[in-house]
Amino acid sequence: MAKWFRAAPLFISIMLVLAPVAFAASDNAANTPDSAQSLNQFQQWLQANGYAQQAPNNTRLSPSPVLTAPPEIKEAPPPAKRPIVIGASQLSYEAGRKAMLDAAPPDGRKPSADASAAFNAMLQQNMPMTPQQVVQLRQQIDVAQRAAAIPANIPPKPVSTTLMVNLAPGATPPAVRMAQGYVSSLVFVDSTGSPWPIAAFDIGNPKAVNIQWDGKGNILLIQAVSPYSDGDMVVRLVGLPTPVTLELVSGQRVVDYRVDIHVSGIGPNTKEVPLGTNLPNNANELLLGVLDGVAPAGSKILTVSGADNQAWVLGEKLYLRTRLTLLSPGWIGKMVSPDGMHAYELPKTSSVLVSRYGQPVELKVGGL
């Protein structure tokens, strides 16, 4: 090992001298007899001076590798120049078409008669109509679609109503008017206007009506599937032993968008229990009309200061429709809708005291 370290400088010097000769010879005649003879002489000199071991007789020396120059890298040709259209919006339709045709790479060949015939045949097969005929066809399709969207009859009038449910035997169930393509919401409330949750429901004709329910609330969404159908549905309310029956009628000129169904009694969600005696059924019907903004029959309309307030006088009683809470005088009858509207029956008076955002406000009643 020490002998190799001492011979390293001499070996490096010899390689530096012979390297140019080896590279020059490899360019013209690699693996020739002369190059092999020089290599054998160099191996013999190393063995004679004690710098290398004698190779076995059966071992062949592998020829030195041939070094070749790397292939010449040719630069890619520049891309073909295309016409640049600046401000395409300033070009007309015909100029834009011509610019796109000119952007195609030139071929240098003229189309033959067969190529032109094949091109024209393909155009005729795939686009047999002229541009004007295409526009006329699209216009006719638009007219047909517009005609198909027009209903056969006049669309029904949407209304929002309030119904009083009479659970007495022999009473006629209230009717809900529906129309195909319109969704009606049924809102169940108690006598105080508080939501009354639904426990279950059933439909007499399931194929004619589609019903959606969240499984816990007091609102049912119903929609007529067929344009003309009749049937009924039964709704069970939480804590109410008697089921509520409703008649479902579709194909009417009026459709109930929202129906507030008032059920006599106090529901489980009532926060305020009214005090006083119950009123006869006819008085409840009057308050029901007042709650919907319908004047009682034979009454006189009055003026009330403040927005969204209405009042009527009938005999010695005053009927007030407002979203405010009445403080004075004491009311005889009261009904509340789910949207917060109040209907009061109270003695005839020219001034009432209400609560607005927790502050007492006096309302003047005129026209008595």
353 and 290 in a single domain? The answer is yes
Q: Is the pLDDT of residue 234 over 60?
A: yes
* SS3 assignment, position 40: helix
Is residue 42 situated within a structural domain? yes
251 and 303 in a single domain? The answer is no
pLDDT the model gives residue 77: 54
Query: Would you place residue 13 in the very low, low, confident or very high pLDDT band (cuts 50, 70, 90)?
Result: low
Query: Would you place residue 213 in the very low, low, confident or very high pLDDT band (cuts 50, 70, 90)?
Result: very high
In the listed set 211, 233, 263, which residue is the last one of a domain according to the structure? 263
Q: Is the pLDDT of residue 35 over 70?
A: no
257 and 196 in a single domain? The answer is yes
Q: Please tell me which residue, 234 or 50, carries the higher pLDDT value.
A: 234
Is residue 340 situated within a structural domain? yes
User: Is the C-alpha dihedral spanning 176, 191, 211, 206 positive or negative?
Assistant: negative
226 and 323 in a single domain? The answer is no
162 and 257 in a single domain? The answer is yes
166 and 237 in a single domain? The answer is yes
Q: Is the pLDDT of residue 341 over 90?
A: no
Find which of 121-130, 131-140, 188-197 is predicted with most confidence, using mean pLDDT.
131-140
163 and 194 in a single domain? The answer is yes
Provide the domain limits for residue 162: 157-263
User: CA separation (Å) from 299 to 182, 199, 311, 313?
Assistant: 35, 40, 10, 5
Is residue 95 situated within a structural domain? no
User: CA separation (Å) from 159 to 156, 177, 183, 260, 279?
Assistant: 9, 10, 12, 12, 28
In the listed set 263, 294, 310, which residue is the last one of a domain according to the structure? 263
162 and 255 in a single domain? The answer is yes
pTM for this model (two decimals): 0.54
What value does the mean pLDDT of the chain take? Answer: 77
Is residue 167 situated within a structural domain? yes
Tens digits of residue pLDDT in 235-265: 999 988 889 999 999 988 999 999 999 888 8
Q: What CATH number is attached to the domain comprising 243?
A: 2.60.40
297 and 212 in a single domain? The answer is no
Our count of domains for the chain comes to: 3
Query: Would you place residue 21 in the very low, low, confident or very high pLDDT band (cuts 50, 70, 90)?
Result: very low
Q: Please tell me which residue, 130 or 284, carries the higher pLDDT value.
A: 130
pLDDT the model gives residue 14: 55
Is residue 341 situated within a structural domain? yes
List the structure tokens of 14. 């010899």
Is residue 62 situated within a structural domain? no
* SS3 assignment, position 275: coil
Q: Are strands 157-165 and 254-263 parallel, antiparallel or unpaired?
A: parallel
| Distance in angstroms (rounded) separating the CA atoms of residues 108 and 116 | 16
In the listed set 228, 263, 298, which residue is the last one of a domain according to the structure? 263
Is residue 67 situated within a structural domain? no
Is residue 328 situated within a structural domain? yes
306 and 358 in a single domain? The answer is yes
| Distance in angstroms (rounded) separating the CA atoms of residues 301 and 310 | 8
